[in-house]
């Protein structure tokens, strides 16, 4: 299903979904990065790298519209994001390094809330997504009673029902076990194969075939072949 406000991304595989030109960001009177330019094409996974404090999380928050302490230019499908903010936000999914779920709500209730305002999704589909992240039997348990890894899986279930072309994922491998890591790696590969684009920060030793690397301080994107 394709929403009316979305162009045919399959026809734009050679054109950037997201383009950054001369980004500069300052925090606490310190320049995190300057003259940062890159392009994100459909069908790619890009790992954002750099030492602690280099601005990886800050960059993803900037791209998600959660930090406005920056200068430069951001374009979505060739046009400035500033002129089509609502369109961009509807086509972007951001998961932060915290699960971002409500502890008093159950996994089902959290997923319903996360999907509210996006698109209608049946409870059967939501339940299937939770089962797909290993939460069978925990769908109606308050999240405050779940482990850190299970809470992370509630957030990751969002990816199994996401149709946004661009995913911004900050430390999503945190607190999940080896099986969960393998499943998430496969999901990112599948997403790229379907034409989506993923930007991800992680301390996990992520190395996917064809993965790109955006190293802060290096000023560009490199391909991993």
Which residues, other chains included, contact 2 with Cβ-Cβ below 8 Å and sequence gap of 6+? 8
User: Is residue 223's pLDDT more than 80?
Assistant: no
pLDDT in tens, 196-210: 999 999 999 998 999
Residue 219, pLDDT score: 52
* Number of residues assigned to the chain: 225
DSSP one-letter string for 61-86: HHHTTS---EEEEEEETTEEGGGSHH
CA distance 67 to 47: 20
**pLDDT (tens digit, 9 = 90+) per residue, 60-75?**
999 999 998 899 999 9
Q: What share of the chain is helix, strand, coil (3-state, %, to 5)?
A: 30, 25, 40
**pLDDT tens column, 145-204:** 999 999 999 999 999 999 999 999 999 999 888 998 999 999 999 999 999 999 999 999
pLDDT band at 221 (very low <50, low <70, confident <90, very high): low
**Per-residue pLDDT reduced to its tens digit, 45-56:** 999 999 888 999
The terminus-to-terminus CA distance of the chain in angstroms comes to 33
pTM, rounded to two decimals: 0.89
Instruction: Report helix, strand or coil for 55.
Output: coil
90-142 pLDDT, tens digit per residue, is 999 999 988 889 999 999 999 999 888 788 899 999 999 999 999 999 999 99
Parallel/antiparallel/unpaired status of strands 79-80 and 70-76: antiparallel
Residue 1 has pLDDT above 50, yes or no: no
**3-class secondary-structure state, position 21:** strand
Taking only the tens place, the pLDDT of each residue in 8-47 is 444 455 689 999 999 999 888 889 999 999 999 999 999 9
Tokens of 3: 């929403």
């Amino acid at each position: 299903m394709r929403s009316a406000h979305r162009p045919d991304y399959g026809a734009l595989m050679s054109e950037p979904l997201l383009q950054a030109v001369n980004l500069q960001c300052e925090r606490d009177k310190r320049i995190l990065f300057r003259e940062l330019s890159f392009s994100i094409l459909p069908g790619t996974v890009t790992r954002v790298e750099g030492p602690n404090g280099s601005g990886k999380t800050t960059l993803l928050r900037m791209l998600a519209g959660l930090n406005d302490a920056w200068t430069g230019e951001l374009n979505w499908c060739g046009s400035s994001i500033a002129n089509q903010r609502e369109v961009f936000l509807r086509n972007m999914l951001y998961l932060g390094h915290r699960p971002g779920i409500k502890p008093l709500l159950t996994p089902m209730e959290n997923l319903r809330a996360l999907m509210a305002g996006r698109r209608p999704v049946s409870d059967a589909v939501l339940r299937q997504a939770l089962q797909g992240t290993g939460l069978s039997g925990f769908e109606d348990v308050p999240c405050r009673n779940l482990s850190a890894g299970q809470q992370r899986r509630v957030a990751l279930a969002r990816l199994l029902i996401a149709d946004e072309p661009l995913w911004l994922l900050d430390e999503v491998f945190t607190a999940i076990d080896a099986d969960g890591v393998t499943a998430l790696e496969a999901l990112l590969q599948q997403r790229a194969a379907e034409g989506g684009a993923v930007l991800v920060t992680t301390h996990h030793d992520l190395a996917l075939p064809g993965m790109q690397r955006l190293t802060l301080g290096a000023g560009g994107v490199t391909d991993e072949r």
